[in-house]
Structure 1
């Protein structure tokens, strides 16, 4: 085969020719070096033709006589009329004509908003973001800090200084008021001390030694006691009123006046002499004497007993030095007074060993004065007389307002 024959193009395929099957290549008799092959073509898919949808027009509407019969009905056959009775139709009610409704006024309809094709700048990516949105950092704010330690210290110091100033001002005002009004504590104490020293000639005897003294809870075991005055001694000096050692112990404070009275109990089994020694001492001397009696226990010594007042013609007529069973001595510091009391039996029996009243009133005491309650007689009566003395001094020292 020549070169021209090999280069000749394939004949064109008709357009209406469906894709034929590939023809077997023709083999020339002459050997050739290169035989070109036809390019492989994808076989076309063969699908059945889709039938075309036919659009059919809707059927025409039925005639008007079929929907709304406006023609008279057909005549009924005779056979039907003989079998069925005609039903007379009800007369249609007369309907008044509807009133004429005026047409509604035309409401102007606003035209639809004209949409602009221009983009909104607020929706643009280049628009500034709000503060704090989408995780943006918030503006820095200075944290609120409290006062430092130095400022707090200064504040507390200022408050303390103000309190000190106010306290000093109140104290100064109180002192000034007391000076203006004459309400001085020392002067009141001095005036009360001096007033108590003059009671022996300014106060009636019944106010110092009342005829009857009530002693609630003053008896043994908390029992109530009652004492009746049977004799009052004239006010005298201190000569012969005390044992020699007791008189020597009381000598430093002096003796201005001695008042005494004798009482008996409700059964008249016991007699008790109570006395008030008005001294010439000042408050310092009385305080010193009270300290000495307390430290040296002079009020417990049996050789330092006061003597009783035995009035004739009374249950205390036989009440002498040997009948003393219990006693008490108290040195007052708010008044120049030494109060004492001594008790015994009214039948005149003697007592070998008298017992101090503080010891005789203790629970469990077994001595004869303690068992008889003579310690309660001396202690209870002396306490009530001292209380009345203080009550008498308080009104005397009060100043009129």
Structure 2
């Protein structure tokens, strides 16, 4: 039975609320909300990317103090067996501006030592200084300059230490000026049949040692002449690079050889580290 006019309940339907776009056309609210959700998600992804980039960037430049660096510290400890030797010690290393007066340098690898422990790898006193951080693995390679006049051994000592122990060793090197002591010079790696065949402890001319605090690694380099000439008293690389230095190693630019090559091997080490969550399976 049809109810009399005006006595029935009106039929009400609920459609999607509408908003308007920039041209005045109706646009469902659902689309607007979806757009906002997408934009918000994009901001989250961008923010995470910036945070991750900041953590990686700080490690590459040697800055310290973030939680993310604990992950990179642990990741760096595995590089000695997870990264090919040609990445840790490239066959050719460019040193733009690394020579005296900002001249360019190029070093060519002539020998790679088998990876090993530290037994017999250092003079006894240097071995004693390094003992508190332990020795997980020691990697070494020897390079020559473009003229084959100089030879430089660069080493990567992967330690067993945590960040606190590495900071303690770095503080000791700094406070006690251990990097300048001629009784704490690293040993070179001499390889038969190469320009470094005569590069023994008596041929050590300049050296540098860098204790990393954001990785369990000690980076060092020691340089000498390829003609196997002996050196009465080696000179720290920083001193040999100083303006006005007149010693034979300084005049030959051997301080730049040691420091320049060590710095670039250290940079390569930093570039090779990846966070554990990013490692390929």
Q: 1:189 — aligned with what?
A: 69
Whether 1:354 and 2:234 are equivalent positions in the alignment is: yes
| Unaligned residue ranges in structure 2 (runs of 5+) | 1-43, 56-64
Larger CA Rg, structure 1 vs 2: 1
Distance in 2, Cα, partners of 1:281 & 1:267: 39
Distance in 2, Cα, partners of 1:332 & 1:378: 17
Match of 1:343 among 223, 226, 230: 223
* Alignment match, 1:61: none
Report which structure shows greater RCO (CA 8 Å, sep ≥6).
Answer: 2
Instruction: Select which of 150, 154, 165 maps to 1:285.
Output: 165
Q: Does 1:314 align with 2:211?
A: no
Of Structure 1 and Structure 2, the greater helix share is in 2
TM-score by length of 1: 0.53
1:397 offset after TM fit, Å?
Answer: 5.2
User: Helix, strand or coil: the match of 2:114?
Assistant: strand
Deviations 1:55-88 (A, max 9, x none): xxxxxxxxxxxxxxxxxxxxxxxxxxxxxxxxxx
Q: Name which of 127, 130, 139 aligns with 1:247.
A: 127
Work out the CA distance in 2 between the residues paired with 1:239 and 1:324. 20
Normalising by structure 2, report the TM-score: 0.76
The question of whether the paired residues in 2 share the 8 Å contact of 1:188 and 1:397 is answered with: no
| Structure 2 residue 157 is matched with structure 1 residue 274 | no
Distance 1:341 1:348 in 2: 17
CA distance, structure 2, for counterparts of residue 300 and residue 397 of structure 1: 36
- The 3-state SS of whatever aligns with 1:236 is coil
Deviations along 1:271-314, one digit per CA (max 9) or x if unpaired, are 00000000000001101110010000001000001100000000
For the Cα contact (< 8 Å) 2:71–2:275, is it kept in 1? no
> CA-atom RMSD, angstroms?
2.1
Pick from 218, 224, 233: which aligns with 2:98?
A: 218
Going from structure 1 to structure 2, the CA distance change for 1:200 and 1:399 (only over 3 Å counts) comes to closer
Structure 1 unaligned blocks of 5 or more: 1-173
Q: Give 1:241 shift.
A: 1.1
Structural mapping, 1:313-392, within 5 Å: 313-392=193-272
Distance 2:278 2:154 in 1: 31
Q: Which has the higher strand share?
A: 2
SS of equivalent residue, structure 2 residue 238: helix
Compute the displacement of 1:349 (Å). Answer: 0.3
